[in-house]
Amino acid sequence: MTQSSGASPGFSRRTLLQSAGLGTAAAALGAPMISRRARGAELVIGFIYVGPKDDYGYNQAHAEAAAVLKKMPGIKIVEEEKVPETDDVAKTMQSMIELDGATLLFPTSFGYFDPYMLKMASKYPSVQFRHCGGLWTSKNPTNTGSYFGYIGMAQYLNGVVAGFTSKSKKIGFVAAKPIPQVLINVNSFALGARSVDPSITTQVIFTGDWSMPVKEAEATNSLADQGIDVVTCHVDGPKVLVETAERRGIYTCGYHANQSALAPKGYLTGAEWNWITVYKQFVGEMQAGKPLGNFVRGGLAEGFVKTSPYGPAVSAAAQAHADMVKAEIMKGGFSVFKGPLKDNKGNVVVPAGKSYVETAIELESMNYLVEGVNGSLS
Amino acid sequence: MSSAAQVQGQPTSSPATAAPDRFYPARRALESVVGPLAALLLSAIGFSVFLLVLGKSPTDFFALMWKGAFASTFSLDNTLQRAAPLLLTALCVAVPAQLGLVIIGGEGAVVLGGLAATVIALPLNGAWPPLVQVAMAIAGAAAGAGWIAITGLLRARRGINETVASLVLAYIGIALFNHLVEGPLRDPASLNKPSTYGIGDANMLGPLPGTDLHPGLAVGVVACILCWVLISRTSLGFSMRVTGGNLRAAQLQGLPVQRLIILACLIGGGCAGLAGMIEVAAVHGRANASLIAGYGYAGILIAFLSRQNPLAIIPMSVLLGGIGAAGGLLQRRMDLPDATVQVLEGFIFVAILASETMQGRIAWFQPRARG
């Protein structure tokens, strides 16, 4: 049989040349073909993750949303995982632009922003860059932007459920670094539990880095050894913590993504990102030819974060109460950090009569652990 | 190592001195090139089988690999960029290796070199930038040299295993780095990613003139050449190789073995510290956790792939840089996990180490008496 009309003669020639020679001839032919494809109607979006896509955590939360986008018509998703926060990420962005024709990039890790993403944004002004983390200011290039979610409220709800479930009145938190974003979660979790029973104490352990599976397991074991019966965390991949807690027979509240599959007995609920909301928003703006938002943030009420369905160990009373608090949060204006509030050294951190809602700028430089949290920042 | 074997082998073939084998040096040089190339070919075949088992096409893989690593200016730039820091960190392994030392703690020297360079730049901010940059280079190299020299001292004076000591010191160095960056040296404005203050845009190293290339590339290539000259063309380098070949013989000859060990560690550590300084001055502009990127560990792989030859470090760094540069494209186009390229690197590593055992075993490359 002769080569029938040839659905795509260009393609077969290219394949042949590349597999035969791998020479410069193939490369020279290959380059214009890539850009021809890029000029098509389809929108190419690049996602960059700092860890594995299936980490049951931070990266999976983004990858799950990317998988939803992938099913939408007219969209092509290119993804790269385990890209370090070094010049490598600048090269990955450039490669997605140059070789894949991406016109919208989501570098999802905090450390990708400065200088890597900013550098690439000035180099490629026609490409849109949206970074997860809330670092954008009006001084940055207009083709860049930030999106982030206020997840503290979901950790507060975790705390409420933990407060109802704990029998020992001691709960634990495994945290990566004592930075404001993490401290908001630790304190929200503790305050949620204390809103149920003010005698509850929260033990926090800082592991020192975002992904330290061995230390996270040790920390979980040490919390269990202290008689703590509910744990949660703020590390990149909560998998190890959730599995260890389940083995030790204690309860967990999830973080980043839904980890209930890892702890069918002990998983109570979880604070999850719901990134698809913001990704759909950006993609919709892009497809409509409208300018993209530069600074987009939202919480539970805006659908940027969500809570995991309750596990079997959550009592009816706990569910009812948590649902009630959640309904209150959804109305807006809910405040977890209300005065008078002391830190765990006895200093007043929120004076009486003052209260900070989740969007309050004061919370973004948080440098304390609230009363009832055992642990220290240094 | 292999040179020592040949020195021992010489007397048995001494009748050949009557009719010297003029082509032997050329064949010996050829042998050191053919070995690694054959190993690369073998690892490519082995890896192709691995891909076929996964149901992926090896031709697609190598075509994408070529495209992502070398086929365009952008790809080549990407490759060389990734190769740049590895040139210097590989020297941190290869130079002490001349004395038979296996130093694997270059990562500690990289991060502390970067930190020292930043610390020296902060009070000098506003001074003439080339001066600041020179001061940074000296501080970075000195910090790295000092850090690896601790291992050298422990080895020379106390006989402590340098491999374990250097690795453990790398962990200590990283912990010290984290402590200082997150504590006393932290810029209070760096809330969610603890960093030191910036060194200032004026003090940053630009790309190589007329290109988009990392300045570390030029520094690395020059350092590799200098180290090669030192090792193969000076009496100091010869003393190092003698010590590596036979320690007892070196001592009997009265070579200052302890000082040579410390010196080699100083040179190697200085190179790694300089790599840290360049990362700060060319890429990050400040010291933070981004500096702990594993360049020190990648350097171990490259040094072994280069059989500890500083000149061979240059092509091997480019090869590994290319694999890294193409890794992303392979993930995106062939839907392969990130670990795939590590499997390829593993194949290459094992094949090259195995090829080393073949050195001197193939008769054609050996000296022959002319009849």
Least confident of A1-5, A198-202, A267-271, B198-202: A1-5
B71/A94 CB distance under 8 A: no
In a domain, A119, yes or no: yes
Q: Give A177→chain B minimum CA distance, Å.
A: 9
Q: Which of B193, B284, B332 sits opposite A110 (nearest CB)?
A: B193
Contacts of A52 in chain B (CB under 8 A): 337-338
Would you say residue B130 lies in a domain?
A: yes
Q: Does residue A359 sit within a domain?
A: yes
Cβ–Cβ contact A133 with B under 8 A: yes
Phi, psi of A371 (to 5 degrees): -55, 140
Last residue of a domain, one of A149, A184, A217: A149
Look at residue A3 in the predicted model and tell me its pLDDT: 39
pLDDT tens sequence across A197-207: 999 999 999 99
Give this prediction's pTM.
0.79
pLDDT > 70 in chain A, percent:
89
Nearest CA in chain B to A29: B71
Q: How far is C-alpha B71 from the geometric centre of its chain's CA atoms? A: 25
Quick check: is A302 in a domain? no
Contact residues, B window 78-117, toward A, CB-based 8 Å cutoff: 78, 81-82
In a domain, B25, yes or no: no
Give residue-wise pLDDT tens across range A341-378.
999 999 999 999 999 999 998 898 899 999 999 999 87
> How many domains does chain B contain in total?
1
Q: What is the pLDDT of residue A1?
A: 38
| Chain-centre distance for alpha carbon B242 | 22
Under the banding of pLDDT at 50, 70 and 90, the label for residue B23 is confident
Mean pLDDT of A97-104: 92
Indicate whether A134 and A173 sit together in one domain.
no
Q: Which of A43-52, B157-166, B321-330 has the lowest mean pLDDT?
A: B321-330
Give yes or no for a contact between B333 and B61, defined as CB atoms under 8 angstroms apart.
no
Residues A167 and A128 in one domain: no
Please tell me the least confidently modeled range out of A71-85, A297-311, B2-16, B205-219. Answer: B2-16
Structural domain contains residue A295: no
Q: What is the pLDDT of residue A8?
A: 40
pLDDT of residue A232: 97
Residue A93 belongs to domain spanning: 42-149
Q: Which of B51, B66, B76 should be substituted to probe chain A, the one whose Cβ sees the most A Cβ atoms within 10 Å?
A: B66
- Among A149, A181, A201, identify where a domain stops: A149
Whether residue A221 is found in the same domain as residue A339:
yes
How confident is the prediction for chain A on average, in pLDDT? 88
Mean pLDDT of B238-259: 92
Averaged pLDDT, A159-164: 97
CB contact under 8 A, A208 and B183: no
Chain-chain contact of A95 with B328 (C-beta, under 8 angstroms): yes
The separation between the first and the last C-alpha atoms of chain B, rounded to the nearest angstrom, is: 31
Mean pLDDT of the region A73-95: 91
Predicted local distance difference test score (pLDDT) of residue B17: 52
- Chain A residues whose beta carbon lies within 8 Å of the beta carbon of residue B66: 18, 22, 26-27
Same structural domain for residues A121 and A172?
Answer: no
Highest mean pLDDT, choosing among A10-19, A93-102, A127-136, A191-200: A191-200
Tell me how far apart the alpha carbons of residues B159 and B153 are, in angstroms, rounded to a whole number: 9
What does the pLDDT average to over A318-324?
96
For residue A50, give both structure tokens.
């700092």
- Please tell me whether residues A184 and A125 are part of one structural domain: no
CATH code for the domain in which residue B157 is found: 1.10.3470
pLDDT at B171 over 70: yes
Query: Chain B partners of A133 at a C-beta cutoff of 8 Å?
Result: 192
Q: Is the dihedral of CA B143, B146, B149, B150 positive or negative?
A: negative
Max CA distance (Å), chain B: 79
- Between A134 and B16, whose confidence is greater? A134
- What's the pLDDT at A34? 42
- Let me know whether A332 and A249 are in one domain: yes
Is residue A109 located within the same domain as residue A130? Answer: yes
Instruction: Give the CATH number for residue A334.
Output: 3.40.50.2300
The residue from A149, A166, A201 where one domain ends is A149
Smallest Cβ–Cβ distance between B332 and the set A78, A177, A180 belongs to: A78
- With respect to residue B27, please indicate whether it lies within any of the assigned structural domains: no
Residue A139 has pLDDT above 80, yes or no: yes
pLDDT for the residue B370: 61
Assess if residue B5 is contained within a domain: no
DSSP symbol at A293 = P
CB contact under 8 A, B192 and A115: no
Residue A21 domain-assigned (yes or no): no
* A340 upstream amide cis, omega within 30 of 0: yes
pLDDT, average across residues A192-216 = 94
Q: How many domains does chain A have?
A: 2
Alpha helices in A124-212 (DSSP H): 152-165, 180-196
Is A80 a member of any domain?
yes
Per-residue pLDDT at B290 exceeds 90: no
Whether residues A99 and A53 fall in one domain: yes
pLDDT at B191: 73
Q: Do A27 and B60 touch (CB under 8 A)?
A: no
Q: Which domain holds residue B86?
A: 68-360
Query: Nearest-CA residue of chain B relative to A102?
Result: B332
A144 and A245 assigned to the same domain? no
A329 touches A303 (CB < 8 A)? no
Inspect the interface and report whether the beta carbons of B60 and A30 lie closer than 8 Å. no
**Is any Cβ of chain B less than 8 angstroms from the Cβ of A94?**
yes
CA nearest B93: which of B268, B241, B267, B264? B268
Is residue B289 within 8 angstroms of chain A, CB to CB? yes
Res. B19 pLDDT band, cuts 50 70 90: low
B171 touches chain A (CB under 8 A): no
Whole-number Å distance between alpha carbons of A227 and A236 = 25
pLDDT in tens, B323-354: 988 988 888 888 888 888 888 988 988 998 88
Q: Can you tell me the distance from the alpha carbon of A21 to that of A16, in angstroms, rounded to the nearest whole number?
A: 8
